[in-house]
Structure 1
Amino acid sequence: MTAKEVIEDEVVIPSEPAPIRRLEQSLINRIAAGEIIHRPSSALKELLENSLDAGATSIRVTVKEGGLRLLQIQDNGSGIQKDSLPILAHRHTTSKLSSFSDLSHLTTYGFRGEALASISHVADLSVVTKARGEQCAWRACYLDGEMVPSKPGLSAEPKPAPGNFGTTITVASLFHNTPARLSALRSSSEEYARILDVVTKYAVHNSHVAFFCKKLGGPTTDLSTPASGTTKQAISMLYGQGIAKELIALTVTPTSTMSVSRSGKRKRESANEDEEADSALEDDENTKAAWTADVQFTSANYHAKKMVFLLFINHRLVESSRIKRAIESVYTGILPKGSSPFVYLSLRLDPTTVDVNVHPTKREVHFLDEETITERVADAMQAQLAGMGERVFEYQTLLTGGLAPEPEKSGKGKEKEKERVRSAGNDDQDEESSEQSTAPKKKALPSQHKVRTSMADRTLDSMFPMASGSQAVGQIGNGSGSPGLGGEREKGKAIKESECFLTSVQMLRQRVSRGRHKQLTEILEKHKFVGVVDLERELSLVQHSTRLYLVSHGALAEELFYQLGLRQFGNLPRLQLDPPPSLRDLVTLAVDAEDSTEIAASPLSKPQIIDAIVETLTGRREMLEEYFSLVISPDGKVEALPMLFREYTPNLDKLPLFLMRLGPQVTWTSEVECFETFLRELAYFYVPGPGPLAPQDQPQLPSPSSSPPDAMGSSQPETQAAKAEKWQIEHVLFPAFRRHLVAPKSLLTRDVVQVADLPDLYRVFERC
């Protein structure tokens, strides 16, 4: 008799129990890897801890595409013996644990031996290492926990290689065999921001180690710290001097009174407490539960919107919601509502009181007397903050450019304030006559709070000698739309939202609307363009109110074009191609330009990859034409492209890459993800920049709607393509940002950064 299924409340219940089967070993390993390696930053955290366990004093991190394409970490630690390389990526192989009793007094970061094994199951792993006493370095490659040949036809044994003392681990094509995990990750810029966050936190705690982090091929290092520094110097270098100047250092132990330092000068009630604090962990015979807490926290004069909390327990970076809530409660009533402090807390406990084996990624630990220790640290911080005296309030410029309301003063304080205003007011007004005047006078606005937004304001380009014909550029640009703050949004043509009844499209539009960041949108609506800083790195400067911002015009353009495609879904204008190129020829160009190592790693050959992409697009050409205005003829010709913005034409040199990426990067099996990923790829195609298939010195196709004159003169010669791209960025893209961009909060992570504020600059120069 066959099994029957009974449907009750839309739940399928089998009438007979299903048999229990043993999972395949490969599936077991990938499940275990998913518990350890969540994203590139979690893989980096495991590798950083291995380097620190090896005694490294210099650690270099190199990243490509947020760590998904490449993640490399190089250290000068003790290295790995050649004999240990065959089992290096096996599960549960470690040099830090030999028996179960060792778990009770761990002093290292790693102990389970699963990090490298997990990485090898979801990425291509290679190791180059040289231990002390070795004549040369050794290189080995790993896949699914086993050593594999670096090239087909070679043996899997470690090969001699050039290298310095230490270990270099390279992780390539992360999550290439787990597409669900890969599609769940965000943009490469966000993943890189997470990587920088991990390196920053470890650099603060390990100030004796030099850390370096950069993008592969990038001209500069994004993070760099020296090998000889203090914790405060690391915080100042990585989090800013504004935090460092307000830091309070505090050391708390169970047997001695707290020791406090401000600005690096430590004061204790008695000299004998120095020895007690330093030997608290070593001498636990006299103390039942020895521990030491080193805290660096900001005073009441500093506050930010989001709390920065760095917690290390026995040098391990962990999280604890209970400890964080206790620290937050210390600042309740001290900081304004909605404000948060910066706190760095390092707890050193007896290893026998700590259980580190409670979380797969070691993100959490349990230890004895947690409530008592937390309460003692919080009380010491609160007592110190209470003894600091009254807060020092500073006036801040509001987002709209006005001044914060001034508190009422009386008596001598009011008279002193009048004197200060008179000295900072108009220079041509005589002080004595103003004191004798009885008529009420309007308070003068200090120079540092004046916002200059006139038509005569100068940009970066106007400060260089102008070539013949370039004056016309400024006239055309000003005439087409840059008349002061917000003029573009009033004069420009609105792009109407198409009528669409698809639930998936309505959901994506609502997601954009809900993600709108009010202040950032206002900055972009009312900004004043200053100039393009770096075309290659896609950086520009804009002014809003008294602040100067460094923005990634590439990231802003990508978000703008995604929103414009979503807004005009199903009703996009078409950009006709005459004569229409062959889809297969364009895809072939892009595939041939791809990295040969990536093609070799694919189970498909080049012709098979090309056939798969062409078949995917031609099989869905009716849907592509109806929804996205991408017209592909039955004989495989690309006849028209979607036009997202009538005033802007994309660089057609990027068309082969765009069509190739539509095959693997678009999720065709889910409606919502299909629409979103297609529009993201379309937006990436529209972002300005040279095509990957064109030589760097070859002139790019200029926009037909915006043909710029010669160029703005510079001390170094520019190609015509660079001049055309700068003109488009200033006179087309930034006005479009004003009119159409709904700025999401995600742009604040790395794409919009405040670099200067006029009142702050005045204070700096006043000190000089």
Structure 2
Amino acid sequence: MSIMDPIESQPEPKPIIRLQDSVINRIAAGEIIHRPASALKELLENCLDAGATSIRITVKDGGMKLLQIQDNGCGIKKSDLPILAHRFTTSKLSKFSDLSHLTTYGFRGEALASISHVANLSVVTKTKTDSCAWRAIYVDGGMVPAQKDASADPKPCAGNDGTTVTVRRELFYNVPARLSALRSSSEEYARILDVVTKYAVHNAGVSFLCKKVGISTPDLSTPSSTTKQAIRLLYGQEVAKNLLSAEISAPQMRKRKRNADDNIPEGSKSDEDNIWMAQAHFTNANHHSKKSVLLLFINNRLVESSRIKKALEACYTAILPKGTSPFIYLSIQLDPTTVDVNVHPTKREVHFLKEEAITECIADAIQAKLAQSGERTFEYQTLLTGGLATVGVDKSFKGKEKAQENSAGSDTATSTPLSGLPATKKILSQHKVRTSGADRTLDSMFLPTPTQSGDRDVEIARNGADVVKEGRKTRVIPQSTCYLTSVLTLRENVKKAKHMQLTEVLQKHVFVGVVDLVRELSVVQVSTKLYLVNHGALAEELFYQLGLRQFGNFPRLKLDPPAPLRPLITLAVDVEQSTDLSKLTKPQIVDSDIFATRRAVNTHILISRRDMLREYFSLGITVEGMVDSLPVLIHDFTPNLDKLPLFLMRLGPQVNWNCEQECFDTFLRELAYFYVPGPGALAAPSSPPVGHSEGNATGRDDDHALNVQREGASERWQIEHVLFPAMRRYLTAPKSLLTRDVVQIASLPDLYRVFERC
């Protein structure tokens, strides 16, 4: 027979064999867990199913080295731990018909099993009835001992009510192809923040916190609030102020159908009469972004739907510029019997009945709400102190003529008038306002500066509240949650003392320059007026309010090596002239045990209260009297540590340790005084040693002058790029600052009158 015979060239059929369980499980795990963000999504849904009201997430290297999620839910029974990570073990359903009435997130029992096959999984859980928590470790779906020759049974341990799931060891350590396909740790962390942000908006009644390992300040922190408040906190004020809301339900769709067909009786039933309702929060025509943001939840599940997305974006086609998109949050609640949730391994997609009709009804309701929202407005600065006025654009002119935004040097307050609109009054030259951050400051007239602090925030990146300003990131400082009556009273006092006009001046100012570092004077511009401000007094009030804002949740500045408390206080007492008036000697002032003596600094006071100082203010003092950490009030701003001895010395006599509210108030005042920029009281240069020639002294003076010049430049930079932007964002100005700290020194219209007389 020829070698080319077709019968001989056909291969033998290979036998069909069953795959090994390890291969099956890893294939299944790959369908569920694509990346750290998908593992976090599954764990988040378990927390919400457990009724958690607080969820805390800790991440390392974008979730590839560590992913921990802690909740305060109902916990897991000890008896259920042995099969917790087995495939298809669940408490959500018992028979197939239960799928048609499913109201929970999870139901298949594959999340923990899949994670255990691609990483090391540990669980610490405690129910309300348990006397202690139980810890179990899982690998490949089964419990394993924590150490060799030990039992794999759950071990008792300390823990709070709820469950803590920790994904240790490198994720996908046994699937190298999947591991190599992952992005950088920063990009994976951004995906995690995106998932947490979306669930935090939908579950606004649950408190969320997400942070990296080793960093005390969280990148995302939300209290229990409403949906609108969560959107404002996570997506920014720009989105929140342009937000519209709509609630749509099945009766609206039935009414629309009856209007289209009069033959349908009022009380009749149709296939479209399925009970459903939707809640939508979406931006109006004044907000648009290059990136489309759609948060779609169907029966509380975060899903994707290209059909719904296209229908909603079509509502904005006629009102937004080309290439821009809106912000939309949509939550649809359907009858569980009409939804099929088991169509995608990660539950990213769901199918439901009458999808096209329901989508059309929702799109029509959103479009009607947009039509009722009124005119599109543009903001421009007026002669009032930093005020913003709006100019409307009638919708009938959309598509016919384009409104052009007013530039800083134009002759009119608005754009060229649209046809049919009255012409606006021409602005005189003396009433024109400099609003461009590109204009020159005082420093730029002598030394060119790469950036101008007058620029507005150019982009809000909501991955934990970072603000990109002038090419660099600054963190938004969240307000800590505190239930102490004394702290709440102090915060309320700040609000009551607010001076509206002065606060508006500081929020809308354009920084001009530092006038005098020694006298702490700077110049800012608001509208057509120039103000001379005492930036030291403003900074002291700012740092006091930032201390109240972060009470109990201060980031820490670690001192390495720690600083000895007693020598620092001794140094300050030796320099402080007021201590000479005391009847006590200076050593007695430092170490006296007389608490009633106002002149006594008493290191024992600080050491005895070290637990309170560390918990509430992040001021770390050890039993041995070593200062190992200081509170950080604002990022990118380090206080002058030359003032540390004076700060520690003043904590004894200036803080009222006997009254809680006065103690917190006076301590924060001293902390604010410590943070105010300027040279320290102990930073003066010493005299040259005896025996040195005049030439050597001169050389030393030259070095000192160079150091002073460098410190002055650094201080100017901090004042312009850190201090004043923080004032614009956080300072609630009290009326007391008007007395001598904020003075108007020039007005453009008044100057024109003077020049006209010449």
Q: TM-score, normalised by structure 2?
A: 0.53
Which of 250, 254, 269 is residue 254 of structure 1 equivalent to?
A: 250
Does the alignment pair 1:215 with 2:212?
yes
| 1:57-97, Cα deviation, whole Å (9 max, x unpaired) | 11000101100110000001010000000000000000001
C-alpha distance 390-139 of structure 1, shift in aligned 2 (>3 A)? same
CA distance in 2, matches of 1:112, 1:713: 52
SS at match of 2:641: coil
Matched residues in 1 for 2:404 and 2:449: separation? 20
Q: Which residue in 1 is equivalent to 2:543? A: none
Equivalent positions of 1:68-87 (< 5 A) are 68-87=64-83
* Residue 361 of structure 2: aligned partner: 376
CA distance in 1 between partners of 2:314 and 2:409 (Å): 33
Long gaps (5+) in structure 2 = 256-268, 381-402, 455-465, 476-636, 644-709, 711-720, 736-758
Provide the residue aligned with 1:577 in structure 2.
Answer: none
Q: Residue 60 of structure 2 aligns with which residue?
A: 64
Query: Structure 1 residue 757: deviation in Å?
Result: 12
Deviation at 1:457, TM superposition (A): 4.0
How far apart in 2 are the matches of 1:235 and 1:171? 29
| SS in structure 2 of the partner of residue 393 of structure 1 | strand
Q: Show CA shifts across 1:118-147 (max 9, x none).
A: 000000000000012111100000000000
Amino acid at match of 1:366: H
Paired amino acid for 1:298: T
Change (3 A) 1:397 1:296: same
2:31 aligned with 1:35, yes or no? yes
Partner of 1:350: 335
Distance change >3 Å, CA 161–CA 237, structure 1 → 2: same
> Is 2:107 the counterpart of 1:111?
yes
> Counterpart of 1:322?
307
Q: Percent identity?
A: 58
Structure 1 position 336 matched with structure 2 position 317: no
Give me the whole-angstrom Cα distance separating, in 2, the residues matched to 1:402 and 1:423.
12
C-alpha distance in structure 1 between counterparts of 2:144 and 2:233, whole Å: 42
Which residue is 2:192 aligned to?
195
Q: Which residue of 2 aligns with 1:632?
A: none
**Distance across 2 between alignment mates of 1:159 and 1:761:** 53
- Residue 297 (structure 1) shift: 0.6
Question: Secondary structure of 2:19's partner?
Answer: coil
SS across alignment from 2:435: helix
Shift in CA distance, 375/414, structure 1 to aligned 2, threshold 3 Å: closer
Aligned positions of 1:129-168 closer than 5 A: 129-168=125-164
The one of 304, 308, 311 aligned to 2:296: 311
Taking the aligned partners of 1:314 and 1:62, their CA distance within structure 2 comes to: 27
C-alpha separation in 1, matches of 2:153 and 2:203:
35
**1:29–1:417 distance in 2 versus 1, CA, 3 Å:** farther
Distance in 1 between residues matched to 2:247 and 2:722, nearest whole Å: 34
Residue number among 530, 548, 555 corresponding to 2:470 in the alignment? 548
Q: Once the 2 structures are TM-superposed, how far is the Cα of residue 417 of structure 1 from its aligned partner? A: 4.0
RMSD: 4.3
The 2-side partners of 1:178 and 1:415 are apart by: 69
**For the residues of structure 2 that align with 1:366 and 1:321, how far apart are their CA atoms?**
12
Q: Paired residue for 1:424?
A: 431
Equivalences for residues 555-634 of structure 1 within 5 A: none
Check whether the contact 1:290–1:349 (CA below 8 A) recurs between aligned residues: yes
**Distance between the aligned counterparts of 2:88 and 2:272, measured in 1?**
36
Out of 439, 443, 446, the residue aligned to residue 456 of structure 1 is: 443
Q: Does the Cα contact within 8 Å between 1:252 and 1:258 map onto a contact in 2? A: no
Q: What are the ranges of 5 or more consecutive residues in structure 1 without an aligned counterpart?
A: 7-12, 260-283, 426-445, 460-477, 486-526, 531-541, 554-711, 719-730, 732-753
Verify the 8 A CA contact 1:543 1:549 in the aligned structure 2: no
Give per-residue Cα distances to partners, 1:656-702, cap 9 Å, x unaligned.
xxxxxxxxxxxxxxxxxxxxxxxxxxxxxxxxxxxxxxxxxxxxxxx
1:143 to 1:713, Cα distance in 2 relative to 1, 3 A: closer
Per-residue displacement from partner, 1:631-666 (whole Å, max 9, x unpaired)? xxxxxxxxxxxxxxxxxxxxxxxxxxxxxxxxxxxx
Please tell me whether the aligned partners of residues 138 and 160 of structure 1 are also in contact (alpha carbons under 8 angstroms): yes
Calculate the TM-score normalised by the size of structure 1: 0.52
Distance 2:17 2:470 in 1: 63
Measured in 2, the distance between the counterparts of 1:241 and 1:90 equals 45
Structure 1 segment 684-703 matched on structure 2, within 5 A: none
Asked whether the 8 Å contact 2:72–2:162 carries over to 1, the reply is yes
SS in 1 for 2:103: coil
Opposite residue 337 of structure 1, the aligned amino acid is: K
Does the CA contact (< 8 Å) of 1:550 and 1:755 recur in 2? no
Mapped to 1, the partners of 2:5 and 2:179 lie a distance apart of 35
Deviation at 1:154, TM superposition (A): 1.2
For 1:408, the aligned partner's letter is: T
Change (3 A) 1:346 1:550: same
Looking at structure 2, the residues matched to 193 and 184 of structure 1 have their Cα atoms a distance apart, in angstroms, of 16
Distance 1:52 1:132 in 2: 17
1:404–1:147 Cα change, 3 Å: farther
C-alpha distance in structure 2 between counterparts of 1:202 and 1:355, whole Å: 21
Structure possessing the higher radius of gyration over alpha carbons: 2
What is the CA distance between 1:383 and its match in structure 2? Answer: 1.1
Pairs aligned (count) = 446
Asked if 2 retains the 8 angstrom alpha-carbon contact of 1:358 and 1:364, the reply is: yes
Cα offset, 1:423, TM superposition: 6.1
Q: What is aligned with 2:434? A: 447
Counterpart CA distance in 1 for 2:89 and 2:302 is 23
- Distance 1:404-1:132 versus aligned 2 partners, 3 A rule: farther
- Separation (CA, whole Å) in 2 of partners of 1:139 and 1:316: 30
Matched residue SS, 2:470:
strand
Give the C-alpha shift of residue 197 in structure 1: 0.6
Change (3 A) 1:40 1:458: farther
User: Does the residue aligned with 2:324 lie in a helix, a strand or coil?
Assistant: coil
